[in-house]
């Protein structure tokens, strides 16, 4: 399995490409911007992109959806609870003083427990709302892509429309902290971590912060 991380856009989003090295089938997770850089890697590696996966519909995670979809023919997948936000993504970007962003609608909505496969890559969908209503994490063997739900040493913001701190903490507790400690955490921004490190050191996930 091939895992490539590209840091894209002005908000430094982690875009991940996960590929089966034998079949060259692959998925792109959160192509937030810099479509040319993403496509360059795809073409250099000879990858066949089956799916574009958005962990949530904030503008900084979806800005290159259209360009990647147009270039590869991949299906765009999203949780239905973020469909309305994706449709209004240009308003989001403008509110941050950024150029307008657009995205096509999802080709298919994912649900908790769905398996997204590309060759030997198999990602299980976990619903981790709280940062957004339709936030998802994607679980592969020994690794989880958490979008903006969980970061190294932090958690996602909940002060945007549709955000809710109680919901986010419940999502992390029930869907992420139940994973083995050695599970690698690849988040939407910043460095990688592990579930064990976050269980032990994340200040938002201890009893003092109300996390039980």
Question: Can you give the pLDDT at residue 81?
Answer: 98
Question: Can you give the pLDDT at residue 210?
Answer: 56
Cα–Cα distance between 88 and 200 in angstroms, integer?
Answer: 38
Question: Can you give the pLDDT at residue 207?
Answer: 65
What's the topology of domain 2-209?
A: Metallo-beta-lactamase; Chain A (3.60.15)
* CA–CA–CA angle 76, 79, 84 (5° rounding): 90
Question: Can you give the pLDDT at residue 194?
Answer: 98
Place of tokens 């089956």: 50
In angstroms, the Cα distances linking 57 to 185, 191, 194, 206 are: 20, 21, 25, 28
Q: Residue 46 — φ and ψ, nearest 5°?
A: 65, 35
Question: Can you give the pLDDT at residue 104?
Answer: 96
Residue 204 tokens, joined: 């938002």
Q: Is 49 helix (H, G, I), strand (E, B) or coil?
A: strand
Domain residue ranges of the chain, discontinuous segments joined by +:
2-209
Residue 147 tokens, joined: 């979008």
The answer to whether the pTM exceeds 0.85 is yes
SS (H, E, C) 118-149: ECCEEEEEEECCCCCCCCEEEEECCEEEEECC
Q: Kindly list the averaged pLDDT for each block of 10 residues, start to end, along the chain of length 212.
A: 96 98 98 97 98 97 97 98 95 86 96 97 98 98 97 95 94 97 98 97 78 60
Question: Can you give the pLDDT at residue 93?
Answer: 87
Place of tokens 């996390």: 211
């Amino acid at each position: 399995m091939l895992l490539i991380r590209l840091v894209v856009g002005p908000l430094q989003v982690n875009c991940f490409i996960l590929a089966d090295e034998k079949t060259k089938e692959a998925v792109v997770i959160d192509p937030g911007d810099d479509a040319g850089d993403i496509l360059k890697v795809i073409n250099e590696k000879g990858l066949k992109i089956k799916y574009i996966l958005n962990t949530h519909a904030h503008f900084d995670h979806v800005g290159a959806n259209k360009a990647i979809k147009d270039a590869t023919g991949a299906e765009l997948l999203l949780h239905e609870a973020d469909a309305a936000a994706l449709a209004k993504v240009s308003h989001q970007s403008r509110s941050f003083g950024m150029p307008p962003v657009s995205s096509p609608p999802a080709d298919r909505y994912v649900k908790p427990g769905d398996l997204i496969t590309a060759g030997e890559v198999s990602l299980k969908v976990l619903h981790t709302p709280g940062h957004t209503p339709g936030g998802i994490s994607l679980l592969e063997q020994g690794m989880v892509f958490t979008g903006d739900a969980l970061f190294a040493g932090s958690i996602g913001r909940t002060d945007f429309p549709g955000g809710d701190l109680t919901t986010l903490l419940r999502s992390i507790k029930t869907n992420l902290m139940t994973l083995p400690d050695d599970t690698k955490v690849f988040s939407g921004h910043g460095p990688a971590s592990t579930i064990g490190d976050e269980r032990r050191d994340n200040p938002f996930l201890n009893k003092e912060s109300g996390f039980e």
